[in-house]
Amino acid sequence: MKHLSILLVFVICLFSCEKRQKKNYVDRPTGWKVFQTPVSASLRGLSPVTENIIWASGAGGTWLRTTDGGNTWNSGIIAGLDSVDFRDIEGLDASTAVAISAGQPALVYKTTDGGQTWNKTHEGTEKDFFVAMYFQRGKGTIIGDPVDGKWRILQSKELGSTWREIEREPEGLEGSGSFAASGSTLLVHNNLILFASGGINSDIYRSEDGGMHWKKIQTPIIQGEASQGIFSITKIDDNIFVGVGGDYLQASLAEKNAIFSKDGGKSWALSEGNMPSGYRSGVTYFPLHHWLITVGPSGSDFSKDGGLSWERFSEEGFHGAVRDKSQSSIWASGSNGKIAKLTY
């Protein structure tokens, strides 16, 4: 009788666990929850620190921040620069953020008081055009288009308070550049630095030793025109990387617009199944459900097989999509002050 009772308890527990696992399984995202923000600017910079703390930046010097998951927002103009487009921002905590402008002039600003004041920590030359920024354990990296035959790469070891050029910047072709679409053409992981160029030649630049030595890797993504190439990259693990893009002049073109790597970015191949359903300017990985989420002006797609094939799940269009640092939520930003959270 005692053994029968133990067996019965085991069966009940097993059934409950299986039922709970089935209940928690989600096959696909359902869409986006769009928040009402106090700004109307185009927002390309986006940095969710947690599910509740989100920073964003964009045209007209705009910055904004929420600390309650999007219910309320603080906003303003960075240092009164209402003609400057801050295309990337990195939130370090609820009080601290670093923002970069693309060019004319290329600037780096930092706030430590929740956006109330912003201090300039770097100003580029007349030739500089900053496109993306990445922070890892307090160390920052910025990439900019080539200047005098070299890609501009800056690093900071002081949480963005000071910046310096690295000694061995990789060679860049005349007229080449990287898209400042959503600040996500750059990835940094330990000593690995990886970034994408676009346009006539859409390549991957890769360094395994923090920028001392570089390799340029060709990709099969659509390229050859100034409007084409890689616009965003993300990583699933140390080996699997994914890139998306297309042609921003043809928002609905769904050809050769997604690539993946299985060897840490050393070689790249086109997605094997359905491509994303148009030009895509942002991609991020959601480990909770093993989804890749990609967005562009014509809608949103996802992949549940590591980027091999893609499926459209929303008509909502955005510039960028970013996972929060706690890996618990996905956020997107776009035109007219639009910010949204992935629903599933």
Q: List, for residues 226-261, the tens digit of each pLDDT value.
A: 999 999 999 999 999 999 999 999 999 999 999 999
Q: Is residue 78 pLDDT above 90, yes or no?
A: yes
Question: According to CATH, what is the number of the domain 31-343?
Answer: 2.130.10.10
Q: Where are the domains of the chain?
A: 31-343
For 257-309, the pLDDT digits (tens) are: 999 999 999 999 999 999 999 999 999 999 999 999 999 999 999 999 999 99
- Whole-angstrom CA distances from 81 to 127, 194, 307 are 19, 31, 39
Contacts of 9 (CB under 8 A, 6+ apart): none
Reply yes or no on whether the pLDDT at 323 is more than 70: yes
Write the pLDDT tens digit of every residue in 174-228: 778 999 988 999 999 999 999 999 999 999 999 999 999 999 999 999 999 999 9
Answer whether 231's CB lies under 8 Å from 280's CB: yes
pTM for this one? 0.92
pLDDT score for 268 = 98
Tell me, what's the pLDDT at 104?
80
Q: What is the mean pLDDT of the chain?
A: 93
Q: Are the C-beta atoms of 75 and 92 separated by less than 8 Å?
A: no
In tens, the pLDDT along 129-150 reads 999 999 999 999 999 999 999 9
Position 24 scores a pLDDT of: 65
